[in-house]
Amino acid sequence: MKENKVVDRELSIYIKEGYDYYRYLWELIHNSYRVIQNVYIFKHFDDYRYQLNSDKQEDKKEIYWNASYYEKLIDYIKIIVAFETFNKALLLKKGYVVHNINHKVNKVLNEKQRRGIPILVRELLPTETNIVYEKNSLANYFTPNASTINFSHLLNENYQHILKQDETLVYYLKDINRKRNRLHLYSDFRGAFSVQDHIQKWATIKDLCIKTIWKELEEIDRKLEEF
């Protein structure tokens, strides 16, 4: 369970302003970028491509085996973790709720959120700042432990209408998320594939993932420089 101080800091993003607001968003986006940079196949892509392309078995060394098998599942998890954090940071930036709404506070908004419909912060929280600042009042609007919305919701049409992410990227994120969600049935990665198609697929995923997060990180960096 999250400590109260951690929960309070997370939820305070809804009422932060100025530097503190953008600093918190920067932390989320920076963490996303750090995770995506540490995806094994991304870090070693050139060597992986060479080893995968080679017809010689002796060329298929550690990077080939790690990227193809031992690190693959971990890479899936890293990619999803990075974009779960990143997408929620973007939603916060655009004024949307990312934490699960307490049904005891607002049953209608809770039901809409459960159906994958984005909720604006102003729909949930009172406009009177003094009410929100009252002790514990902010936490009461959300479920205990400050749980957040399901990542699969962030890839649906409703949320993507707001996030406006590259359709190819979203397609691959959905595919990776499906595989990640089958962890409880994971046994091995099997099946034949075209080497060139496989390389192109992962080159595309790598470029889209890194460029998408980096672009937003640069923007938030520039915003912080204004303070």
104-159 pLDDT per residue, tens: 999 999 999 999 999 999 999 876 554 555 545 788 899 988 899 999 999 999 99
Measured in Å, how far apart are the chain's first and last C-alpha atoms? Answer: 35
- Quick check: helix, strand or coil at residue 226? coil
| Predicted local confidence at residue 3, as pLDDT | 55
| Predicted local confidence at residue 31, as pLDDT | 98
| Predicted local confidence at residue 142, as pLDDT | 92
> Residues of the chain whose pLDDT is less than 70?
1-8, 127-136, 183-193
Question: What is the count of structural domains for the chain?
Answer: 1
Q: How far apart are CA 16 and CA 126, in angstroms?
A: 14
Which domain, by its residues, includes 57? 4-224
* pTM beyond cutoff 0.85: yes
| Predicted local confidence at residue 14, as pLDDT | 87
Burial class (CB in 10 A: 0-12, 13-18, 19+), 16: middle
| Predicted local confidence at residue 135, as pLDDT | 46
